[in-house]
Amino acid sequence: MKGFKENDYMKMIFRWFPGGDDSVTLEQIKQIPGVTGVAAMLSDIPVGEVWPIDRLEALKNEIQSAGLELEVIESVNIHEDIKKGLPTRDKYIKNYIKTIENLSTIGVKCLCYNFMPVMDWLRSELAYPLEDGSNVLAYNHETVLKMNPALIAEEMLGNSRGYSLPGWEPERLEAMAADINFYKKMSDEQYWENTKYFLDQVIPYAEKYDVKMAIHPDDPPFSIYGLPKLINNVENIRKFLNLNSSPYNGLTLCTGSLGGDMENDIPQIISEFASQGRIHFAHIRNVKHLDKMVFTESAHYSPCGDLDMYKVVKAFYENRFDGYIRPDHGRMIWGEQARPGYGLYDRALGASYILGLWEAIDKNAQIE
């Protein structure tokens, strides 16, 4: 086995929001040991439009000036017409392909996206207090079902400490209630067909431009408001990857999203798909269940949550994972005022912890 120091396996990166929309700076990220790059996005480009090359170049230059690399784009969101399978989807798919070409031109090799209908991730609380005095994002299924879908956006944004929330674009929010009704009438199989249509159009270009597509799991990993779910358990992930068998049709393996369902065996899921070379990007975080479908996010350290982070990291290591890893959401600690889930301190602790596990597993492998 090759050594950790050669850094042939994974690259540790950190999510950063450009355009003054982050309390965390690139200079701070640069000081986290072992973090070499970022996952970023242009949040002001309306969903469905081509990401202009000059904007991407400027973003890359800004990141490189701070001594970091722009490794992953998280996310180029999918226009709702594509997910709905409307005739207008072809125009948006064409734009998506052009964006992939532009990403390739500036040297980005991995694109994270999701195919969740109507909304991106959802929580019932953005600042749930933990015993240690910190606060975290939390999910309670019953509370969510009682929330008025049309008002969710307002509630979420009202609690976001003034920051935009990734994946919650204003135009998407406006159409939310009507969209939910649309999907309620659509069969799951139709949704899978719409997904395959998108993949079959886009993946050949992802191959051509050498940009790996990495779909993010649905978060939470169970259906809400009658909306279809695709990426929430091992069977559905297999089904998704089989829709298009190219390795460019791959995953963002988010331990916390899949970990929302206590039935999911995360290390086993990682082993299955990493051994097939289908995981390109990993989000690592922990969750703590208070009940079935009721959980809080937690510190990364295994005893703080339900996931065994040693087993998680080992599953990546043993399958020679050579993609990107980032710590996912962290707690809000030490009085930090940042975007919910995306403070500096706890994510930096998470990155160091994951790197520590990786180093220990690697050094142990050398002497065996």
Active site residues: 216, 254, 283, 328-329, 342
Find out whether 350 and 283 touch, Cβ atoms under 8 Å: no
With CB under 5 A as the contact rule, which of the stretches 175-183, 185-193, 254-262, 315-323 interacts with Mn ion? 254-262
Shortest distance in whole angstroms from residue 326 CB to Mn ion: 9
Q: Which residues contact 327 (CB under 8 A, 6 or more apart)?
A: 14, 283, 284, 285, 300, 347, 348, 350, 351, 354
Out of 96, 121, 316, 358, the residue judged to bind ligand CS2 by CB under 6 A: 121
The reply on whether position 259 binds ligand CS2 by CB under 6 A is no
**How far, in Å, CA of 222 to CA of 220, rounded?**
6
11 binds, among ligand CS2, Mn ion, none (CB under 5 to 8 A by kind): none
Distance from C-alpha of 271 to C-alpha of 264, rounded to nearest angstrom = 13
Q: Binding mask 187-216 vs ligand CS2 (x if CB under 6 A, - otherwise)? A: -----------------------------x
Nearer to ligand CS2, 167 or 305 (CB): 167
Residue 70, strand partner residues: 38
Distance CA 314, CA 361 (A): 7
Is there a contact between 363 and 316 (Cβ–Cβ < 8 Å)? Answer: no
Interface with Mn ion (CB under 5 A), residue total 3
Binding segment for ligand CS2 among 24-32, 110-118, 224-232, 309-317 (CB under 6 A)? Answer: 110-118
Q: Give CA separation, 284 vs 109, 190, 269, 327, in Å.
A: 20, 31, 14, 5
Q: Which of 114, 135, 194, 232 binds ligand CS2 (CB under 6 A)?
A: 114
Q: Which of the listed partners (ligand CS2, Mn ion, none) does 113 bind, with a CB threshold of 5 to 8 Å by partner kind?
A: ligand CS2
User: In the set 15, 212, 283, 347, which binds Mn ion (CB under 5 A)?
Assistant: 283
Q: Which long-range contacts (CB under 8 A, 24 or more apart) does 102-106 make?
A: 102/50, 102/51, 102/52, 102/53, 102/56, 103/51, 103/56, 103/73, 103/76, 103/209, 103/211, 104/209, 104/210, 104/211, 105/53, 105/56, 106/53, 106/56, 106/57, 106/60, 106/70
| CB closer to Mn ion, 48 vs 341 | 341
Q: What are the beta bridge partners of residue 9?
A: none
Locate 301 and state its tokens.
């350290």
* Contact range with ligand CS2 by CB under 6 A, out of 80-88, 106-114, 140-148, 292-300: 106-114
| Interface of this chain with Mn ion, residues 302 to 331, rule: CB under 5 A | 328
Options 27-35, 107-115, 239-247, 310-318: segment touching ligand CS2 (CB under 6 A): 107-115
**Residue with nearest beta carbon to ligand CS2:** 75
Q: Does 74 bind ligand CS2 (CB under 6 A)?
A: yes
β-strand partners of 268 = none
Among 108, 111, 44, smallest CA distance to 74 is for 111
The binder of ligand CS2 chosen from 62, 120, 265, 322 (CB under 6 A): 120
Of 11, 212, 229, 283, the residue at the interface with ligand CS2 (CB under 6 A) is 283
Report the interface residues with ligand CS2, using CB under 6 A.
74-75, 112-114, 120-121, 166-167, 216, 219, 254, 283, 328, 341
Report the interface residues with Mn ion, using CB under 5 A.
254, 283, 328
